[in-house]
Amino acid sequence: MLETIVVAIDDLKRGEEAIAHAAMLATPFSARVLVAGITEQIGGSRGEKFTDPVIWGMRKSETQATLNQHVRHLEEQGIETSVDIIEVSTVESLLQYAEDVESDLLVVAYDPDTSAPMIRSILKHSKTPVFLTRAGWTKPAFTNILLPLDGSQRAESGLTLATMLARSMNAELHLAHVIPPLEMPGQPILSSEMSEIARQLIEKGSNEAKRYLEQTASRLPVPAKTHVIVNGSVTTSLHNLVFSEDIDLMILSAHGYSGEPQWPFGTVAENVVNYCKVPTILVQDLPAYFSHSEAEPTRIVNGTYQE
């Protein structure tokens, strides 16, 4: 159940886009939307220049006025909402705010050219699922939701959220498993005997994957379409599935069965975050604590994120 959605906005140009996504998610749950306008702190640190108080006040007033306009549109739709201007200099401060208001979902407008460091830090540390908007995505509703599964409990951490959204939005849920090609190092061309062994292993894996997805789907309170993709790159197969099935929302765990806990997310999750064309929700199954050295690795300075 989604009760509280936080929309973090540091770029007013993309604020309307992020709020529209939040409204789409909030409506079926009657959830409240907290719009968090991010401004830098008036005082600098670590050698940074202090912000002129007059300029800082003007920026804050502009942010407040613009977000209040967006909020009125939400209120007209019957969505409980409010605007908070939070003065933060680190992602840790933003995530603490989300935790303090008991957020169930954090919505962030993703721009790969300017917000990649911020996104990486949020995805690494957030205990709350993170919704990433995509520039140019304009559909009015989610109709096809994709959840990649590899058979691990980690990957299944997104199952509850995916099921809940599919049921509340009357969307079709797609469960997918990709079986990568069997590779034999040093043997680009397999003998007929090895080729037969590889075929049998892939066939067995395919049957097991089909059984797993069907059993998983049978336990869900919503119908789900299953996809087993054989002999393909995991990331390429998922991107192709997004296109072929007209997927408009992908939900996935930060780690799969092969994910190492010392890394914030696995290679599949990182590829999807960076290159997926549709909105994405990443569920961090292993949120990291901020260490002393990470206290300010990703800073919000004048509306941009810096490492």
User: 53-109, pLDDT tens digit by residue?
Assistant: 776 677 777 777 878 887 888 888 899 998 888 776 578 888 888 999 999 999 998
Whether residue 207 is found in the same domain as residue 258: yes
282 in any annotated domain = no
Q: What is the number of structural domains in the chain?
A: 2
Q: Any alpha helices (H) in the chain, and if so which ranges?
A: 12-26, 53-76, 91-100, 116-125, 159-169, 192-218, 234-244, 267-275
Strand 280-283 to 172-179 pairing: unpaired
d(C-alpha 159, C-alpha 269), whole Å: 15
pLDDT at 181 over 50: yes
Number of CB atoms found within 10 A of residue 114's CB = 14
What residue ranges in 121-180 does DSSP mark as E strands? 130-133, 144-148, 172-179
Coil, strand or helix at 213: helix
Domain of 22, CATH number, reads 3.40.50.620
Beta-bridged to residue 77, according to DSSP, are none
Output the pLDDT for position 7: 92
Judged against a pLDDT cut of 60, whether residue 50 lies above it is answered with no
Asked if residue 149 and residue 111 are part of one domain, the reply reads no
* pTM summary value: 0.82
If asked whether residues 251 and 174 sit together in one domain, one would say yes
* Cβ contact 133:296 at 8 Å: no
253 and 152 assigned to the same domain: yes
Domain span holding position 110: 1-127+287-307
Can you say how many angstroms the Cα of residue 99 is from the centroid of all Cα atoms in its chain? 17
pLDDT at 32: 94
Q: How many residues does the chain have?
A: 307
Rounded Cα distance, 65 and 71, in Å: 10
Residue 187 lies in a domain: yes
What would the pLDDT profile of 278-302 be if each residue is shown by its tens digit?
999 999 876 655 443 443 333 333 3
Nearest residue to 172 via CA among 248, 237, 229, 230: 248
Residue 110 falls within a domain, yes or no?
Answer: yes
Any domain includes 213: yes
Examine the domain organization and report whether 239 and 300 are in the same domain: no
Are 250 and 163 part of one and the same domain? yes
